Amino acid sequence: MATIKRTVEVELSTTGMDAQGRPVRTPLAVAEDGSTITVAAPPSIEPELEGEHMLINLGPQHPATHGVLRLVLELDGETVVRCIPHIGYLHCGFEKIGEYRQYNQIVPWTDREDYLNSIGNNVSYILGAERLFGIDCTPRATVLRVIAMELSRIASHLVWLGTTCIDIGAFTPFLWAFQERENIYALLERWVGARLTTSATRVGGMAADVPAGWTEQLQTFITLFPKTIDEVERMLTKNGIWVGRTIGLGAMTADEALNYGLSGPMLRASGVAYDVRKDFPYLDYETYDFDVPVGSNGDVYDRYLVRVEELRQSTRILEQALRRLPDGPVNVDDHRVILPPKSKATSEMESMIHHFKQVMEGPRPPIGECYVATESPKGEKGYYMVSDGTAKPVRWRIRPPSYVNLSAIPKMVEGHLLSDVIAINASIDIVMGEIDR
């Protein structure tokens, strides 16, 4: 008998075949001792009707998957029995490229990976790079970076808000959210010249200091923004449709959330009070007076409440930062990392050599490694850099919060309806650029 040739050729890395050559089905749940637990499929509405499970493909091109995410769902009618996510559709080799770029040249790449939090990513990365160099930035730069991170947090949560509302069916908050983002874009554009991909930081300081009149514009934003948050809350928080669509969905208990490595609003909504700004502070966050909202149920509604409250808290931090913004230089006075002023570079030998070395080769840190984690709007964002003394890192690793958050989606989605999958996916607040890098 002729062998049946499978036209679907896959080279498996797992031992996926049993003795008959049929693929082995990975069990849905594995107990602590390694034995399989069979998860009972949710009861069908019409038990007499014989049916079979459908395999439905959601994505990678889909309006509601927040990027190029592919979810393969096993459906019993409308109920999801199992979900298998596929990622990698936006994998662009960031970490590989990082090994071929100097430390200052990597900054534009940090914009593009989590593109909703671009200036926040710039700051996170440069904190890691400066730790690797052994540099502490100036007081003015410290406060400016806090302002940058909080503006970025607001901007990212606004996109989350807008897109989640569209996914669940409310179109208007999307327009409100993006209008507020235009105000933030205007601020960023005045500061660094770009709306979205800012590349605002450099080792030892910032690319530019804020121009005259910028702080007044920021103050206007801080004064007017809470009104938009109030408007959104008035529309959504006690809205029967919104609550009905979001409450009880995708709940993760606190120890599940910790074990899966969730971070950010996902983790805090489940009841774990872990915020990198409070527990492992950086940029003097311990001196700012702000609260961290923590939920209790870990469902989609709690995550919504946590993020909206974070918008308010970010505004609070911005106000304090603006009041304490000190004068002074924004760049460190260390010519191993910061270009000397032209007048010195053209007259003094030492400055000229510094200038030459930095432009041709780039600043070189000592041999070592460091992992610096910050609280991005998505969760714990860490950059792990290993240096061998040359101008380009040996390894540039991005610890993407959305990557680990998304890995919990099969757990969260089991037993829910197909439309709930969209709501749960929206509540994770994923950015495929960060997940796939």
Partner 1 sequence: MGLINRPETDVVSYDPKGGDGWVTTRLDFLVNWGRANSLWPMPFGTACCAIEFMASAASQFDLARFGMERMSFSPRQADVLICAGRVPFKLAPVIRRIWQQMLQPKWCISMGACASTGGMFDNYAVVQGIDTIIPVDVYVPGCPPRPEGLIYGIMMLQEKVKRERAADTSLRNEMEPDPTSQLYIPPSAINELSEPFGNSIHQQRSGL
Partner 2 sequence: MTTPFTPVVGGSALPSDAPAAATQREVPHRGGPANPSAEALRAKFGGAVLRVDVVWGETTVIVERTRVQEIVRWLHDDASQRYDYLSDLTAVEFRDAEHPIEVVWHLRSIAYRRFLRLKVQLQRGQPYEVPSVWPVFKGADWLERECYDMFGIRFAGHPDLRRILMWEQYKEGFPLRKDFPLRGRFSRAEQLRQALAANPEARYSMEELSIADAFEDLPQEMRNRLRSGEKTGE
Restricting to residues 389-408, which ones interact with partner 2 according to CB under 8 A? Answer: 394-395, 397, 399, 403-404, 406-408
Would you count residue 436 as binding partner 1 (CB under 8 A)? Answer: yes
The correct pick among 84, 175, 224, 359 for binding partner 2 (CB under 8 A) is: 84
Per DSSP, the residues of 396-432 read EEEE-HHHHHHTTHHHHHTT-BHHHHHHHHHHH---H
Residue 68 touches which member of partner 1, partner 2, none, C-beta under 5-8 Å by kind: partner 1
SS3 30: strand
Residue 363 near which of partner 2, partner 1, none (CB within 5-8 Å, type-dependent): none
227 is in the binding site of which of partner 2, partner 1, none (Cβ under 5 to 8 A by kind)?
Answer: none
Contacts with partner 1 in 351-380 (CB under 8 A)?
A: 361
Burial class (CB in 10 A: 0-12, 13-18, 19+), 318: buried
Instruction: Tell me, by CB under 8 A, how many residues bind partner 2.
Output: 83
Residue 115 sits in the site that holds partner 1 (CB under 8 A): yes
**Alpha-carbon gap, residue 335 to 428, rounded angstroms:** 43
Q: Which of residues 153-192 bind partner 1 (CB under 8 A)?
A: 159, 162, 174-175, 178-179, 181-182, 185
Task: Name the residue among 69, 81, 87, 75 with its Cα closest to residue 28.
Answer: 81
Q: Are 378 and 402 in contact (CB under 8 A)?
A: yes
Q: How far is CA 94 from CA 90, 106, 277, 387, 430, in A?
A: 11, 9, 26, 17, 18
Half-sphere exposure of 10 (CA within 13 A, CB side): 8
Measured from the CB of residue 214, what is the shortest distance to partner 1 in angstroms?
A: 20
Tell me which of 1, 8, 40, 212 binds partner 2, using CB under 8 A. Answer: 8
CA 157/CA 249 separation, integer angstroms:
20
Q: Least separation, in Å, of the C-beta of 263 and partner 2?
A: 8
Residues 194-233 that bind partner 1 (CB under 8 A): 195-197
Quick one: 349 exposed, middle or buried, by C-beta within 10 A (0-12, 13-18, 19+)?
A: exposed
Report what 432 binds from partner 2, partner 1, none; CB cut-off 5-8 Å by kind.
partner 1
Distance between CA atoms of residues 281 and 276, nearest Å: 6
Read off the amino acid at residue 168. I
Q: Which two tokens stand for residue 368?
A: 């070592």
Residue 235, contacted partner among partner 1, partner 2, none, CB below 5-8 A by kind: none
Q: From the list 62, 278, 312, 324, which residue makes contact with partner 1 (rule: CB under 8 A)?
A: 62
Contact residues: partner 1, CB under 8 A: 60-63, 67-68, 88-93, 96-97, 99-100, 108-109, 111-112, 115-116, 118, 159, 162, 174-175, 178-179, 181-182, 185, 195-197, 361, 388, 390-392, 394, 432-433, 436
